[in-house]
Amino acid sequence: MRIDLAGHVALVTGAAGELGRAIARTLGRCGADVAIHYHRSAGKARALRAEIRELGVRAETYQADVTKPAAVKRMQRAVAAQLGDPDILVLNAVSRVSWKPLLKQPAADYANQFGTCVLQAVLMTQAFAPAMIGKRWGRIVAINTECAMTCLPNESAYASAKRGLDGVVRVLAKELGPHQITVNQVAPGWTISDRDRAAGTERQPKYEKTVPLGRRGEDQDIGNAVAFLASDLARFISGAYLPVCGGRVMAGI
């Protein structure tokens, strides 16, 4: 049994970023054509496009600020014209802010995180879900975080935005379900990426002691989870929050 996404078009936001590259590569390896969204990392996006094209699938790059309605609509029109309407949407983009105690966190940081987590999900779904509805097939996978469950000190801006994303996704799963569109979340832990490999920071003993599996996950683990939820192997899974963190957090019932 293998994951076969041939004939599908996947759009990954923040695809030029650390986890985004692994997700986009994995979807391409599974046979999907890939729309590579980026905000500022044009060079990395172009390099990823060349890499994915070598897999024998189509890939194009698209620049947009996913917190701006007009930019999202421009991207929607461009993707549809070049690759066709995406039926796999991966909401991965997020901006970075410094983690500080709540009493010292600037209010602007909360607005920033809300924009790239919650507002992104709203705008991207409004732009791309109508075509999925028409097709009566679609997959939306939002990248959340274990921090939405841990809510540790200094995480308030990030965790609150990701918890807001969780609410949007759960509502969407109910609203889009009648159209045979699944909506799920993948929640990574502190994941090893190319940045760690380049810096030699893969090992984090203090963190690893808090993980039942005793190690950090790899970016490929996130790509694998996304590909599974995007496939027909997961056709009856919707509304799920899937931690990919070695058991460090466990969603309750």
pLDDT tens, 70-118? 999 999 999 999 999 999 999 999 999 999 999 999 999 999 999 999 9
pLDDT tens column, 178-205 = 999 999 999 999 999 999 999 999 999 9
Domain covering 9-244, topology: Rossmann fold (3.40.50)
Residue 253 confidence (pLDDT): 78
Q: Is the pLDDT of residue 1 over 80?
A: no
Annotated active-site positions, please?
A: 158
Report the alpha-carbon distance of residue 135 to residue 16 in Å, rounded: 28
**Mean pLDDT, to the nearest integer, of 236-246?**
98
Q: 0.85 cut: is pTM over it?
A: yes
